[in-house]
Chains A and B, each alone.
Chain A
Amino acid sequence: MAFWNKDGNGAAVTEEQVLDALKKVQDPDLRKDIVSLQFIRNLKIDKGTVSFDLNLTTPACPVKDQMRDEAVALVRALPGVQNVEIKMTSEVRQAPQLDKSALKGVRNIVAVGSGKGGVGKSTIAVNIAASLAAAGARVGLLDGDIYGPTTPIMLGLDLPPKSVGNRMIPQEAAGLKFISMGLLVKSEQPLIWRGPMAHKALQQCLFDVDWGELDYLVVDLPPGTGDVHLTLAQAVPLTGAVIVSTPQDVGLRISMKTLRMFQQTRVPILGIVENMSYYICPHCNSRDHIFGQGGGSRAAEQLGIPFFGEVPLDLAIRTQSDIGMPIVLAQPASPSARVLREITEKVAAQISIRSYETPVLEVE
């Protein structure tokens, strides 16, 4: 007789009972229960021990711990269960339509844009990409800022990529695969390109690169709206775009133009990141809202899109960028790194929602 069974009636819990209990756990982003979403894998019942994998749509899931705890509590409450072993895994969903192109190993392409220059768009892009990679995702970063590429500095890379045959091999740094359009040209030469050249260069960086298998390809766009933006929106189905802005009205108003361009080309706006939100005085730790307060969250509210968070003007973010080691990796416990990580998780959640909801469109 099964003496280990609490109830003493010898009846071990069944798979149905476990799945029924787990149906009560909702993914707050996809608004469905984790059983219907097929997140439960490898369910095994061995006497009083229930084990399964909880397979989420992103390793950077903001509610990972909450869902795990809920699942464990519900299963443990079932009669006949002494032990619950849960393994957290993830599988990033493939955005529709991407699988047929040359980028077939790439699951999601996400653009990072801004209305004006100098808002820290590249800093945000690098740190989001590095955070996603640190969470365990396979990430590529395409620096599309042909006119003033700063991303290579932030990753400590300044040599052009090698190529094999007519394909470029991405460089690797900070756990990322990386290609910069700027590095295709000698560094001291100013870049004077007409539209068609920018168009061609971006296409090469997308299609003639061995990106391999990627969960996320982050594209750092030049400021404003121009050739690179349009080419990107036309060449690939983007999962969405993240807009970076400062709290200042001017910055925001120009970001609206970027926003409108994305809307016209039907690129979903994932949300707004506000950068340079406040300055923390290194001497007295007081907060100064140098560029005003609340601009980004107000704009997000007006437009009905998510607000991802406020990144401070922090000396450490700047110095880490300058020495080629993003702050989220170099000082992961610092307040700024924590903010950037939270933003990344919210971005990842939005990406999961988009690739889940967007229907597949094809010409029959």
Chain B
Amino acid sequence: MPRPTGGQGTTPTKIKKISPGELMILWADGHETHHLAPVLRGMCPCASCKDEMTGMRMILPIHIPDNLEFRKIEIVGQYALQFEWSDGHRTGIYSFEYLRELCACRECKHQD
């Protein structure tokens, strides 16, 4: 039985770029996630950033400038976000599940 995706915890109700390098997502369960551009860029799930076979990260923090910014943020269909970064990269599609998983707040970290 396929488990339906899109529970409250992974359904955004508000997506806001609060500064050139910071994104805020408010989820339907009331939780608020803040993503910093350089961190999110480092977790890019696309095939050129993360090896498809081995899962090894091809892009490392040292490759990413601290002042990296969101150039463009687009909603993909109704399940993900796609970012264009100030370094020109733009192929990563971040599903809402993945964006919630990446929430770095203390509360979410404690659950791991």
User: Using a CB–CB distance below 8 Å, which chain A residues touch chain B?
Assistant: 97, 233-238, 256, 259-260, 263-267, 302-303, 358-359, 361-364
Alpha-carbon separation in the docked complex, A235 to B93 (Å): 12
Check if A361 sits within 8 Å of B75, measured CB to CB: yes
**CB interface residues, B 1-58, toward A, < 8 Å:** 1-6, 12-17
Check if A266 sits within 8 Å of B2, measured CB to CB: no
CB distance from A110 to the nearest CB of B (A): 14
Check if A363 sits within 8 Å of B74, measured CB to CB: yes
Does B78 have its Cβ within 8 Å of any Cβ on chain A? yes
Does B85 have its Cβ within 8 Å of any Cβ on chain A? no
Check if B16 sits within 8 Å of A364, measured CB to CB: yes
Alpha-carbon separation in the docked complex, A18 to B79 (Å): 44
From B12, B93, B96, A234 is in contact (CB under 8 Å) with B93
Check if A303 sits within 8 Å of B1, measured CB to CB: yes
Check if A364 sits within 8 Å of B17, measured CB to CB: yes
- When distances are taken between beta carbons in the complex, the residues of chain B under 8 Å from A265 are 77-80
Check if B2 sits within 8 Å of A263, measured CB to CB: yes
From B1, B4, B17, B93, A363 is in contact (CB under 8 Å) with B17
Can you list 23 A-B pairs with a CB-CB distance of less than 8 A?
Answer: A234-B93, A235-B77, A236-B77, A237-B78, A238-B77, A256-B2, A263-B2, A264-B5, A265-B78, A266-B78, A266-B96, A267-B78, A267-B79, A358-B78, A359-B13, A361-B12, A361-B75, A362-B15, A363-B17, A363-B74, A363-B75, A363-B81, A364-B15
Alpha-carbon separation in the docked complex, A12 to B17 (Å): 56
Check if B16 sits within 8 Å of A363, measured CB to CB: yes
Alpha-carbon separation in the docked complex, A77 to B3 (Å): 49
Does B103 have its Cβ within 8 Å of any Cβ on chain A? no
Supposing A302-B1, A303-B1 touch, asked if A363 and B76 sit within 8 A by C-beta, the answer is no
- Given contacts A238-B78, A363-B15, A363-B16, list 13 more A-B pairs with CB under 8 A: A233-B79, A236-B77, A265-B77, A265-B80, A266-B6, A266-B77, A267-B79, A359-B13, A362-B75, A363-B17, A363-B75, A364-B16, A364-B17
Check if B78 sits within 8 Å of A364, measured CB to CB: no
Check if B16 sits within 8 Å of A263, measured CB to CB: no
Alpha-carbon separation in the docked complex, A267 to B79 (Å): 8
Check if A97 sits within 8 Å of B78, measured CB to CB: yes
Alpha-carbon separation in the docked complex, A302 to B79 (Å): 24
Does B73 have its Cβ within 8 Å of any Cβ on chain A? yes
6 closest A-B pairs by beta carbon, nearest first, are A266-B79, A364-B16, A260-B2, A363-B73, A233-B77, A265-B79
Closest to B12 in A: A361
- When distances are taken between beta carbons in the complex, the residues of chain A under 8 Å from B17 are 363-364
CB distance from A269 to the nearest CB of B (A): 9
Alpha-carbon separation in the docked complex, A362 to B17 (Å): 11
Closest to B76 in A: A234
Check if B5 sits within 8 Å of A263, measured CB to CB: yes
Alpha-carbon separation in the docked complex, A238 to B77 (Å): 7
CB distance from B11 to the nearest CB of A (A): 9
Alpha-carbon separation in the docked complex, A303 to B2 (Å): 8
CB distance from A299 to the nearest CB of B (A): 10
- When distances are taken between beta carbons in the complex, the residues of chain A under 8 Å from B5 are 263-264, 266
